Structure 1
């Protein structure tokens, strides 16, 4: 007579600590998948928004008009919109002083955009550290459950006079499930982290290029203003 090992039965009959480990891994997996979908949507929207704003920026529309439109909206400024608003606002403020040199104006403008860039990158990198943590620790959490389960299986095996594979197999099987769950939680988190980190790097490079191009435009305006005042 043979007894089939049901996956559900193995989980239900596992020791309390192994069940706790499995529950923790399931929770980490659910949270990481939720963050994966959120980050995927956020980074996709950031790329679309950046492309849309760059098209508008290079369409020939007056920069003051773009700034006025964004300032009137105030809320919901993200990505390049935030960088542009911060830079143009500081540029306009410094340009009002007739004693301010073009270099000084651009130093202040660039610092304002760098601060805005830092804030935008913090938004884009949100949750990535959690995914990296899940990818790093989940296999070890699963391994802990496996070691504990196998230890209990061998302790129980040592209490009988005649040991058989059928007696020890369920305990070892339930212990190995913890390792499988650990890998199930870790692998998607690692893949998602690497993919999102690459996307964030590309977006940051795009933002940096825009900052330099925008700075060049503002620098030419600042030089022209200084020459007109002389």
Structure 2
């Protein structure tokens, strides 16, 4: 008698095979999300370290912006800087609300988009981690039911006749746990690292807001103003009418 997943596949009916294929698909999907989000978080952490180290030490805003790298959906620090600059290019914003409030709103929108992108994929891991054990359990119940029906039809009820089919059916429960455990661990690890990245982005947004607000205050008294930052190195020039 053969044992293992191969025996479950060969002896199972359409429902049992569909459950196995579903669990295999869920496992591939969860591992794909884990690897993708893991690489994304490593890239964001490295970029956050570079931004905190190089951005505020640059000699000008252009140099500081260039230190953040090329634009793209995966560059939240550069998007925040561009959002702050766009807030100052819209004169209609000053008619609706105070400049610092408009700047805070623009930075908040840009940050929220990246935080939502950080959270993408976590719903998949949460769903797989919570449903995979029950799908495997359903496969076990289905297999045991058909095994007992076959034994009853054969008229044999010895332990040797029951142990094999029932044991094969229990493999489905183990398979469901094998799929669910990495998904749950991956979800917790990614969520914890997301909170760390989000904290750094919130801090960078707050520093940008304070920096650009200083430039706005200086513009009121002079036509052209160079406002020093609280950190050494960087300065910003704000032209009138921009």
Same fold per TM (> 0.5)? yes
Question: Kindly tell me: are residues 170 and 20 of structure 1, through their superposed partners in 2, closer, same or farther at Cα, counting changes over 3 Å?
Answer: farther
Which residue number corresponds to residue 47 of structure 2?
49
Return the TM-score normalized by structure 2: 0.82
Question: Kindly tell me: are residues 7 and 25 of structure 1, through their superposed partners in 2, closer, same or farther at Cα, counting changes over 3 Å?
Answer: closer
* Deviation string, structure 1 residues 142-186 (Cα, Å, up to 9, x no partner): 111111111111222222333112222222122111111110110
After superposing on structure 2, the runs of 4+ consecutive aligned residues of structure 1 that deviate more than 3 Å are 3-7, 64-67, 69-77
Contact 1:131/1:192 (<8 A) preserved: yes
Which residue number corresponds to residue 134 of structure 1?
128
Residue 65 of structure 1 deviates from its aligned partner by: 4.3
- The correspondence for 1:39, drawn from 33, 37, 40, is 37
- The correspondence for 2:76, drawn from 74, 79, 83, is 79
Which residue number corresponds to residue 9 of structure 1?
7
Q: How does 1:106-117 map to 2 (within 5 A)?
A: 106-117=100-111
Normalized per residue, the structure richer in helix is 1
Contact 2:77/2:201 (<8 A) preserved: yes
Question: What's the secondary structure of 1:152's corresponding residue?
Answer: helix
Which residue number corresponds to residue 208 of structure 1?
202
Which residue number corresponds to residue 169 of structure 2?
175
Instruction: Provide the aligned length of Structure 1 versus Structure 2.
Output: 222
Distance 1:158 1:187 in 2: 36
Question: Kindly tell me: are residues 88 and 56 of structure 1, through their superposed partners in 2, closer, same or farther at Cα, counting changes over 3 Å?
Answer: farther
Residue 192 of structure 1 deviates from its aligned partner by: 0.4
Contact 1:139/1:186 (<8 A) preserved: yes
Between 46-55 and 128-137, the greater mean CA deviation after superposition: 46-55
Residue 129 of structure 1 deviates from its aligned partner by: 0.8
Question: What's the secondary structure of 1:227's corresponding residue?
Answer: coil
Question: What's the secondary structure of 1:162's corresponding residue?
Answer: coil
Question: Kindly tell me: are residues 10 and 165 of structure 1, through their superposed partners in 2, closer, same or farther at Cα, counting changes over 3 Å?
Answer: farther
- The correspondence for 1:160, drawn from 154, 161, 173, is 154
Question: Kindly tell me: are residues 23 and 154 of structure 1, through their superposed partners in 2, closer, same or farther at Cα, counting changes over 3 Å?
Answer: same
Q: How does 1:87-106 map to 2 (within 5 A)?
A: 87-91=84-88, 93-94=89-90, 100=94, 104-106=98-100
Question: What's the secondary structure of 2:21's corresponding residue?
Answer: helix
Q: Are 1:143 and 2:137 an aligned pair?
A: yes
Contact 1:71/1:85 (<8 A) preserved: no
Question: What's the secondary structure of 2:218's corresponding residue?
Answer: helix
Contact 2:84/2:212 (<8 A) preserved: no
Contact 2:71/2:78 (<8 A) preserved: no
Which residue number corresponds to residue 27 of structure 1?
25
Contact 1:70/1:85 (<8 A) preserved: no
The unaligned stretches of length 5 or more in structure 2 are 224-242
Return the TM-score normalized by structure 1: 0.86
